[in-house]
């Protein structure tokens, strides 16, 4: 007969041991999946745990083992397929190494980020992987995480108005080189008025990509016009809504390097709404090569960054920092590769179009 435990009290290992008529040590071995426990005994203990509602206290177990079995992952925009793929890669690698992923999302809010980090720190993570929200302050993040939990920052640099010595590792993409390659590709197709579309200048990744775009134009002897830089939130809907900004002045750009694939896909839709054929009337490049990029209409020319692979790489770097803290911070920049598809084509004179598609 199963012993009933008062609902107000947490079920303990001792409660399970008494109900299953085994020792507390045996229950502990079952939790650790030890091969020393007979299969029938293991099944009996697990059945009692299920019926009694036993919840494994991972934090307490971490304290007993003197190390944590979870890693915190904090993402700035889970709605972006790039970060969803990145998170999947992190979870795959951590799971293979025997760790559990604690996931938090900040939706680009620095205030929400601090609350999420504070809450996750209560679980004593072995390490934290953070893709910072826009406007993150390095000093605030550093104080929240503390000096004893390894921190790996992904994608965006952390900066602060106050002096701060970096104590975190960094994994980023070769943003500058990638935007240079995209712009160079468009130049090779005969385009000379090439916009940089989307993102916010306060973001380090956006700034770096703008620099690559500008450097490629300069190498071709072209000085970009101020109205070739179009800001928008790095989302599909906002990018679509900003498409008209490309055509407010004559002569308008004939091509655009988009901040990321989400922006590029939104721009493709905005161009169609104007009666333009992407890849024929106007060329667009993206950045990331999310799975949808190859299936868009038309398929998107972009910079492949292997987001799932970057997630696995981030997990490996975070675990390395947790298990063998380096003497100095480690900075890793992952390469990107240009993948040419049908969203880019040779320059053709662009005729004026209205938003409703009239010519």
Closest CA to 268 of 298, 288, 289: 298
Q: In angstroms, how far apart are the furthest CA atoms of the chain? A: 85
CA-to-CA distance for 208 and 42, rounded, in angstroms?
56
Cα atoms in the 13 Å half-sphere on the side-chain side of 96:
11
Q: Would the pLDDT of 163 be above 70?
A: yes
pLDDT band, residue 351 (cuts 50/70/90)? low
Instruction: Give the Cβ contact number of residue 3 at 10 Å.
Output: 13
CA angle 190, 268, 208 (to 5 degrees): 70
Which H or E run contains 164? none
Eight-state DSSP code of residue 301: B
CA-to-CA distance for 111 and 108, rounded, in angstroms?
9
CA-to-CA distance for 17 and 193, rounded, in angstroms?
74
Give residue 91's pLDDT: 96
pLDDT band, residue 9 (cuts 50/70/90)? low
Q: Look at 314 and 5; give whichever has higher pLDDT.
A: 314
Q: Would the pLDDT of 159 be above 90?
A: no
Q: Which residues contact 298 (CB under 8 A, 6 or more apart)?
A: 268, 278, 279, 341, 342, 343
CA-to-CA distance for 350 and 285, rounded, in angstroms?
18
Q: What pTM did the predictor assign?
A: 0.79
DSSP 84-105: HHHHHHHHHHHHHTT-EEEEEE
φ, ψ of residue 227 in degrees (nearest 5): -75, 0
Could you give all domains of the chain from N- to C-terminal order, each with its CATH number?
13-56 (1.10.260.40), 69-173+307-333 (3.40.50.2300), 175-304 (3.40.50.2300)
Q: Per-residue pLDDT tens for 175-229?
A: 999 999 999 999 999 999 999 999 998 899 999 999 999 999 999 999 999 999 9
CA-to-CA distance for 283 and 253, rounded, in angstroms?
10
Q: Would the pLDDT of 2 be above 50?
A: no
- First and final CA of the chain: distance in angstroms? 82
Helices (DSSP H) in the chain: which residue ranges?
Answer: 13-20, 24-31, 39-52, 58-65, 81-96, 110-121, 138-145, 175-188, 204-219, 236-241, 261-273, 307-323
Q: Per-residue pLDDT tens for 227-258?
A: 999 999 999 999 999 999 999 999 999 999 99
Contact call for residues 310 and 73 (beta carbons, < 8 A) = no
């Amino acid at each position: 007969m199963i012993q009933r435990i008062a609902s107000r009290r947490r079920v303990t290992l001792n409660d399970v041991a008494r109900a299953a008529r085994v020792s507390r040590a045996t229950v502990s071995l079952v939790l650790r999946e030890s091969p020393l426990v007979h299969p029938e005994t293991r099944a009996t203990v697990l059945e009692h745990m299920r019926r009694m509602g036993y919840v494994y206290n991972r934090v307490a177990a971490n304290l007993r083992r003197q190390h944590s079995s979870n890693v915190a992952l904090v993402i700035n925009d889970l709605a972006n397929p790039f970060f969803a793929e990145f998170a999947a890669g992190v979870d795959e690698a951590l799971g293979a190494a025997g760790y559990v992923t604690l996931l938090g999302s900040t939706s680009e809010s620095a205030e929400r980020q601090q609350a999420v980090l504070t809450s996750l720190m209560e679980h004593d993570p072995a390490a934290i992987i953070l893709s910072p929200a826009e406007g993150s302050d390095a000093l605030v993040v550093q104080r929240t995480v503390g000096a004893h939990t390894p921190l790996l920052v992904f994608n965006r640099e952390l900066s602060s108005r106050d002096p701060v010595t970096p104590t975190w590792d960094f994994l980023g993409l070769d943003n500058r080189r990638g935007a240079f390659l995209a712009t160079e590709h468009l130049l090779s197709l005969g385009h000379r008025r090439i916009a940089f579309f989307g993102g916010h200048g306060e973001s380090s990744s956006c700034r770096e990509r703008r620099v690559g775009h500008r450097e490629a134009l300069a190498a071709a002897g072209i000085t970009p016009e101020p109205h070739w830089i179009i800001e928008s939130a790095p989302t599909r809907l906002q990018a679509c809504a900003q498409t008209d900004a490309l055509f407010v002045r004559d002569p308008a750009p004939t091509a655009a390097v988009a901040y990321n694939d989400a922006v590029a896909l939104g721009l493709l839709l905005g161009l169609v709404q104007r009666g333009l054929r992407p890849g024929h009337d106007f060329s667009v490049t993206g950045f990331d090569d999310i799975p949808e990029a190859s299936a868009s209409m038309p398929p998107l020319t972009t910079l492949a960054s292997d987001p799932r692979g970057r997630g696995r790489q981030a997990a490996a770097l975070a675990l390395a920092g947790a298990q063998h803290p380096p003497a100095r911070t480690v900075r890793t920049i992952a390469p990107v590769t240009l993948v040419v598809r049908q969203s880019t084509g040779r320059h053709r004179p662009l005729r004026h179009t209205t938003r409703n598609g009239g010519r």
